[in-house]
Amino acid sequence: MSELLRIEDFSFSYRHRNTTISILKKLDILIFPGEVVGLVGESGSGKSTLAKAILRIPDFKYEVSYKGSIYLNGNDLMQLNDTQLDRIRGNEISIIFQDPLSYLNPMFTIHRQIKEVLKHHEIANGIVADEMIRRCLLNVSFNYPDRIMRSYPFELSGGMRQRIMICMAMITRPKLLIADEVTSSLDALIEKEILDNINRLCSDYGTSVLLISHNLPTILKYANRIAIIYFGHIVEIVHVNNAQKGARHPYTKALFSCALAKVKDGVFPFIEGSIPKPHDVIVGCPFHLRNCPRAIDACRTTLPEMESYDEGSFRCHNPYPVEG
């Protein structure tokens, strides 16, 4: 099976006061067509940066540099210029962010905002576009699309706005949808509704999803494969069925038990130490500093290479053995 998106040896860093702070370090991810890949990480691990870096969404504050390549159907996105990339943004790869209100223009109606997307990518215009918008709004479970089309972003609730964002992202029928913490600020019930919407639309359109979240239970419910990111490194990519028992990397194991609050003898699981900051310099495997239970001498000196096995890959010197 040929992959849709291949992120290969990808690094991202920015310069801040004459120091280079690298956020993403040599990432390798494959996303196959129609697949939902979950990206889990704690704050500061670089998961949102990856979402923006794939589409090279500019950060005006700092001087950034990219290394490596991202292939979309064999075309290297890093080689494209801004005009060419503009055609891909929102058309072939769409992105949804955590806070929809700051991405919707408060002065435009929902109808105009969505139509703008269609016009920009020269997909449809006029009545055809209107009909497309109406159908798309119905698809994201709005019962009265005409009323929604006339309203302004501030008139809608958080969940409704997020559904508008999904509509805007999916109306172009992209090949890949990047959902960056889409439900972090929403409640469990609304979260379910939104993710169900995304899931249904994407399986209808055959769109792959890169589902980014810090909330592991959510990812476990919706993703096919899970990539765990820690301190800018992908430490493990594992299939969801295998995720809880078959995880090889100690961080993955620890994170799962923390996130699902697997209490042992009345004690909540936790990981020692604090999350490394992006500007920290760590020699060796970054996880050995947090009392990794399987740390060996090699972890303190060298960063392990990515190792693949039949159900996934991991980056560890001394992984847990395969069970059974």
Partner 1 sequence: MTDNIVKIRGLNKTFIRKTLITRHVEYIYAARNVNLDIPRDSFYGLVGETGSGKTTLGKLILRLIEPDSGSIIFDGIDVTRLSQREIRRIRPMFQVIFQNPQSALNPKQRVKQLIGNPIRFQKKLDSKSVEKEVFRLLDEVQLSAEMAEYFPHQLSGGQIQRVEIARALGLKPKLLVADEPVTSLDASIRGHILNLLLQLKKNREFTVLFIGHDLHIMEKMCDILSVMYKGEIVESGSVKQIFNAPTHKYTKKLVSMRYISD
Partner 2 sequence: MSLFKRKTKLSEHTGVERFNLKFLIGGTGFIVLLLIAIFARQLAPRDPIAKFAESQAPSLGKNHLYLKNLSSEPVNIDELRIKIWYRGYKDEANEIILFRNAALQPGEQYNQTFKIRDIGNNGSINVKLTTIAGSDINLAYRFNCRIEDTGNNDGLLSSDLKMESFKNILFIKSGNSACEDYLPRHVFFGDYQGCKIVDHLRGHYILGTDSFERDIISRLIYATQPTILVALCAMIVSLLIGVPIGFLSGYFGGTTDKLLMRVSDTISAFPRFFLIISIVALWGQNILLITIAIGITGWMEPARFINVKVKTLIEQDYILSAVSTGRIWWRIMYHDLLPNILPHILVLAAYGASSAILLESTLSYINFGVREPLPSWGNMLANAFGTGAGSTGLERLWQVLFPGLAISIAVLMFNFLGDGVQKSIGNEDE
Chain residues 15-54 in contact with partner 2, contact rule CB under 8 A: 16-17, 19
Distance of alpha carbon 268 from the chain centroid: 28
Q: Which is nearer to partner 2, 131 or 280 (CB)?
A: 280
Give helix then strand counts, H and E, for the chain: 11, 12
Q: Which is nearer to partner 2, 16 or 147 (CB)?
A: 16
**Eight-class DSSP state of 289:** G
Q: Which stretch binds partner 1 (CB under 8 A): 69-77, 103-111, 209-217, 309-317?
A: 209-217
Rule CB under 8 A: say whether 246 interacts with partner 1: no
Q: Which is nearer to partner 2, 17 or 264 (CB)?
A: 17
Rule CB under 8 A: say whether 293 interacts with partner 1: no
Which residue in the set 1, 107, 127, 261 belongs to the binding site for partner 1 (CB under 8 A)? 261
Q: How many residues bind partner 2 (CB under 8 A)?
A: 5
List, as one string, the DSSP characters of 4-66. SEEEEEEEEEEEETTEEEEEEEEEEEEE-TT-EEEEE--TTSSHHHHHHHHTT---SSSEEEE
Question: 229: which strand partners?
Answer: 234
Q: Which is nearer to partner 1, 122 or 323 (CB)?
A: 323
Q: What's the min distance (Å) between Cβ of 324 and partner 1?
A: 14
Rule CB under 8 A: say whether 220 interacts with partner 1: yes
Q: Which is nearer to partner 2, 19 or 143 (CB)?
A: 19
Rule CB under 8 A: say whether 267 interacts with partner 1: yes
Kindly report the number of other CB atoms within 10 A of residue 133's CB atom. 26
Rule CB under 8 A: say whether 279 interacts with partner 2: yes
| Angstrom distances, CA of residue 248 to CA of 26, 236, 258, 295 | 20, 8, 16, 13
Q: CA-CA distance, 41 to 50, in Å (whole number)? A: 11
- The three-class DSSP label of residue 201 is helix
Under the rule (CB under 8 A), what is the footprint of partner 2?
Answer: 16-17, 19, 277, 279
